[in-house]
Amino acid sequence: MDSAMTTGMHHHLIAGKDVASPASFESRNPSRQDDLVGVFPEATLDQVRLACDVARSAYAGWRTTPAPIRGQIIGQIGRAIEREQEPLSRLMSREMGKTLKEARGDVQEAIDTCHFFQSEGRRLYGQTVPSEMRNKELMTYRRPLGVVGVITAGNFPVAVPSWKLIPALLTGNTIVWKPSEDAPTTAYALARLFEEGGLPDGVLNVVFGGGAGAAGEFLVEMLDEHRLDKIAFTGSTAVGRHIGAIAGRNLTHPTLELGGKNPMIVMRDADLDNAVVGALWAAFGTAGQRCTSLGNLILDEPIAAVFQERFLAAVATIKIGDPGRFDDVLYGPFINERFYHAWHAHYDWGRADGATLAYGRGRITAENRPTGYRGDPNSGLYGWPTVWTNVRPGMRIFQTETFGPTVNLVTVDGIDEAIAVANSVDYGLSSAIYTQNRLWAFTFKENIQAGMSSINNSTTGAEAHMPFGGIKGSGNGTRESGIWVLDHYTYWHGVNDELSGKLQLAQMDTEYGQMRAPYRVAPLADPR
Ligand code: UN1
């Protein structure tokens, strides 16, 4: 990765050219505010509009490029990302604060997505369908939608954009992407690798800036101007509802990947060592800043006390700090101040709800630090791992996504109550159960309200070729990844080809009447 990608003033990428804006914003390392990672232009409404118009002009050429050729370009992008995996991962870890191990996984998810979709360019199957007429053929085709707006979050700055960009491009759409202002340098470097892969100018355009009142909101407005045919968004449920309403009034189908308050059930027969490790990772990995992070840990009564004891002992050993300096930390800083404040506010809710604060003391500072903290906590925003006990469904901390290092422990009696409690939130993204009992695992699978479930594993860690997405407040039912995502970047086009040289009327000029019925049904009595 050349150093120009990661230093100094960056530009929007529109029509294959660098475009500047009058205003700019900075991206800083959340572990060390004195480390300036990049300076980025703040897109104006006119620039977002221009990017959409450029994508529209590029659409005709891109949609008619043979799909296997588009697939080959996706393959080339994948190889470019693979070559740059290490510098890209380091850049990501520096810019948004996840550990290097996790950053490598994030980049790997994009590489996996490229591998998957490269060969999808040689499938993109349609169907041939028998006609009810002689000398007539029916067939179906997947067609691209047109210009797609993509808005992504900073917690997975490579994986989550790739889930959208790669299938959208493979199926022949052109794109305007507004990456998160929390990881713009990582996004810029990724976009340059997409360019290197051989995308024609204007097929992928990138505009930088904030969300509300800025580039993100401008991009959504492009639906009302009929400059976009679709929008794909990963972020909060509140913003997702707003985008969904605008998309809906324009009769477009948005992709909405929203929040979660993901449950994990630990049953009385579970392998507790395994469950403790799984819960610890699910709740505190990425500092709880995954949409798939564990929110509610639901414990079956006979093991609740012993599990709680072992879990709290494990929480006390968690190592936290700047992942750029210490490679053994479980998690680093908050990605941004907004996430920190939202998480900090949950301490008030927990107290007001009457839950018991079993572990955690807010922001980590030099004077207020857990033993596992390494380095200088004042250089960034770090949160104590936080554990609440005596939590009940209905409490605000039980119901609301916190997006930070905190988990609620809830005690239940048996599988039926466990599932009912797990389902009693307005989200339905991910879920997990620890049990050795196959019937309980089956009952969970059948009844849990979630788009994704794990049996004896974490709520996080979806693989790149499985359908990713949720139900209820976690989204609108769209899925990312694997073959399922194709339906969200294409529409089905049914074609009938009349070869008979004459007008044959469907349903009317068929041969049904000439066929002998296999049995006779008594005719209905004449009503007259
Ligand atoms: C997200 O937090 O938006 O399943 C995505 C996981 C990751 C993706 C999370 N593969 O946890």
Domains of the chain: 13-258+480-490 (3.40.605.10), 262-462 (3.40.309.10)
Give residue 305's Cα distance to chain centre. 35
* Cα distance between residue 419 and residue 147, in whole Å: 41
- Of all protein residues, the one whose alpha carbon is nearest to atom 6 of ligand 1 is 461
- Tens of pLDDT along 36-86? 999 999 999 999 999 999 999 999 999 999 999 999 999 999 999 999 999
Q: What is the pLDDT of residues 342-352, one digit of tens each?
A: 999 999 999 99
What is the model's pLDDT at position 5? 58
pLDDT at 477: 96
- Selecting among 257, 301, 337, 498, the annotated active-site residue is 257
Residue 163 near ligand 1, beta carbon < 6 Å: no
Q: How would DSSP label each residue in 351-393?
A: HHHT-EEEE--SB--SSS--TTB-S-GGGS--B--EEEES--T
Nearest CA owner, ligand 1 atom 3? 291
Task: State yes or no: pLDDT of 310 exceeds 70.
Answer: yes
Q: Is the CB of 460 under 6 A from ligand 1?
A: yes
pLDDT at 512: 87
Q: Is 291 a catalytic residue?
A: yes
Q: pLDDT category, 525, cuts 50, 70, 90?
A: confident
Cα(291) to centroid(ligand 1), Å: 6
Closest to 499 in 3D by CA, of 134, 161, 60: 134
Question: What mean pLDDT do residues 10-36 have?
Answer: 96
Average pLDDT of span 330-335: 98
Q: What is the predicted pLDDT for the residue at 516? A: 64
Q: Which of 150, 427, 460 has the most ligand 1 atoms within 8 A of CB, as the residue to mutate? A: 460
Calculate mean pLDDT across residues 134-157: 98
Closest CA to ligand 1's atom 7 = 461
Angle ∠(468,469,471) on CA atoms, nearest 5:
150
Ligand 1 contacts CB of residue 432 (under 6 A): no
379 pLDDT above the threshold of 70 = yes
Q: Is 287 in the pocket of ligand 1 (CB under 6 A)?
A: no
292 is written with which tokens?
């798939």
Is 160 close to ligand 1, i.e. is its CB under 6 Å away? yes
Q: What is the predicted pLDDT for the residue at 438?
A: 98
| 221 annotated active-site | no
Minimum-distance ligand 1 atom for the alpha carbon of 290:
2
Identify which of 156, 261, 463, 466 to mutate to test ligand 1's pocket (most ligand atoms within 8 A of the CB).
156
Of 114, 101, 96, 80, give the one whose Cα is nearest residue 37. 96
Q: Is the CB of 291 inside a 6 Å radius of any atom of ligand 1?
A: yes
Asked whether 14 lines ligand 1 (CB < 6 A), one says no
| 136 CA from centroid of ligand 1 (Å) | 47
112-148: buried (b, 16+ CB within 10 Å) or exposed (e) per residue?
A: bbbbbbbebbeebeeeeeebebeeeeeeeebebbbbb
Give, for ligand 1, the residue of 234, 262, 339, 468 to mutate: max count of ligand atoms closer than 8 Å to Cβ. 468
Structure tokens at 227: 């400059």
CA 14 to chain centre: 25
Mean pLDDT of 438-454: 98
Tell how far the Cα of 179 is from the centroid of ligand 1, in angstroms. Answer: 16
Distance (Å) from CA 374 to ligand 1 centroid = 26
Nearest ligand 1 atom to the CA of 153 is: 3
Tell me, using a 6 A CB cutoff, whether residue 155 lines ligand 1. yes
- For the chain, the maximum distance between any two Cα atoms, rounded to a whole number of angstroms, is 94
Mean pLDDT value of segment 365-393: 97
Helix ranges (DSSP H) in 388-511: 396-399, 415-422, 438-447
Q: Single out the catalytic residue among 291, 367, 401, 511.
A: 291
Q: Tell me the C-alpha distance between 200 and 277, whole Å.
A: 46
Task: Determine the average pLDDT of the residues in 491-498.
Answer: 98
CA of 279 to the centre of ligand 1 (A): 16
Contact assessment for residue 427 and residue 470, using Cβ atoms and an 8 Å cutoff: yes
Q: What is the 3-state secondary structure (H, E, C) of 56-110?
A: HHHHHHHHCCCHHHHHHHHHHHHHHHHHCHHHHHHHHHHHHCCCHHHHHHHHHHH
Q: Are 238 and 215 in contact (CB under 8 A)?
A: no
467 Cβ closer than 6 Å to some ligand 1 atom: no
The mean pLDDT value of the chain amounts to 96
Residues 174 and 55: beta-carbon distance below 8 Å: yes
Q: Which atom of ligand 1 is nearest to the CA of 289?
A: 2
